[in-house]
Amino acid sequence: VKQFNQVSLWIATEIVTIGNLKKRVSALKHLIIMGQKLIKMGNFNAALEVAAGIQQSSVQRLKKTWKLLPKKFKDTVNYFEYIMDGHGNFKNYRKELMAHGLPCLPYFGIFLRDFTFIEDSYKTFVEDDKINFYKMKKLCSLIRDIQFYQTHPFTYQVNESVES
């Protein structure tokens, strides 16, 4: 979560520190395209870092920048907002994640949020110091979900022009 926040803040900082309006619009376009490609690759963690950086209030206040941004890029930013919407326990994000298939790298912060919810919502022990098996079942299910995303490695083709 700390790295997620650092990267999204870095992205916002990079955008707002570009003094030239056309260069700032170009950088914003580049980041939006990068976010799209990250989602297509299945790297939801990095894609949401980019989206969170773009959605920082300091970036959102750049009215002239947003005015020059073409509609298709604004539509993509709206898609990022749709995915990051926390309503319904992040149902849009979860739907996109499941639709993508493997391999993919989910945003781990959602898992941490789920662990916290289970820990805070259910007692570990119930009457007569008996283990709350319902809570343990929920925790096991969440751990199984995390393990599921670790079953398929990413495979990339080497791009010789980048390597040299």
Section 26-52 average pLDDT: 96
| Cβ atoms within 10 Å, residue 35 | 26
Whole-number Å distance between alpha carbons of 124 and 138: 12
pLDDT per position as a tens digit, 99-111 = 999 999 999 999 9
pLDDT of 31 over the 90 cut:
yes
Contacts of 114 (CB under 8 A, 6+ apart): 142
pLDDT per position as a tens digit, 49-65 = 999 999 999 999 999 99
Contacts of 62 (CB under 8 A, 6+ apart): 15, 16, 24
Say what the pLDDT of residue 49 is: 96
| Cβ atoms within 10 Å, residue 42 | 19
Q: List the one residue out of 12, 1, 16 whose CA is nearest residue 109.
A: 1
Say what the pLDDT of residue 122 is: 96
Section 32-37 average pLDDT: 96
Say what the pLDDT of residue 163 is: 66
Say what the pLDDT of residue 52 is: 96
Whole-number Å distance between alpha carbons of 66 and 61: 9
| Cβ atoms within 10 Å, residue 141 | 11
